[in-house]
Amino acid sequence: MLGLDKFDLDAIAVALQDQTGYEYFHLINPLTGEIAFWSRDGGIDGNHPVDLDDLDLIVIHPLPSSVWYQDMADFADGISDEQAGRRLARAIRGRGAFRHFKDELHQEYPELLAAWHEFSDLRARRRAVEWLADNALVERVTSDRFAAEHPDPGLP
């Protein structure tokens, strides 16, 4: 197993969030920790289609959008500005929740953007480490230690 420092946690987090479909995937090399990009038409080099099963790489399947939705709900619930929290919670109801949440933050509460990015990025990195442990790329104790050392930040 590789050490956690061999993995690009932000790149894995992006792959875990990518809800664009099944025309392409993010892959990880279990021997090096390197991230690759595969597309149905271009394989991993962009020119030669190859079947995913023919590669010695692990597909990083995205997590359900409900996981990322919960981050928005937790943020809205956790901020001390009750009015902002209510408006953000209202923004995520129904269709277009992700877009409405971001629009509300950018337009009405830009002072909360840095806190939101810190909160969501930290959770995404924790999920990346958990994914690595779930796929036996790092030891479970490493994942548990990372989670314990990186709790949710305090919210304004």
pLDDT in tens, 42-53: 877 777 778 877
Confidence of residue 41 (pLDDT cuts 50, 70, 90): confident
pLDDT given at position 2:
86
Closest C-alpha to 73, from 119, 39, 111, 29: 119
Delimit the domains of the chain by residue range.
62-156
In this predicted model, what pLDDT tens digit does every residue of 90-106 receive, in sequence order? Answer: 999 999 999 999 999 99
- What is the distance between the alpha carbons of residues 63 and 141, in angstroms, rounded to a whole number? 22
The pLDDT of residue 62? 94
3-state secondary structure of 123: helix
Query: How far is it between the farthest Cα atoms of the chain?
Result: 54
pTM for the complete prediction?
0.91
Sheet strands side by side (includes 24-28): 35-39, 24-28, 58-60
How distant is the alpha carbon of residue 7 from its chain centre? Answer: 14
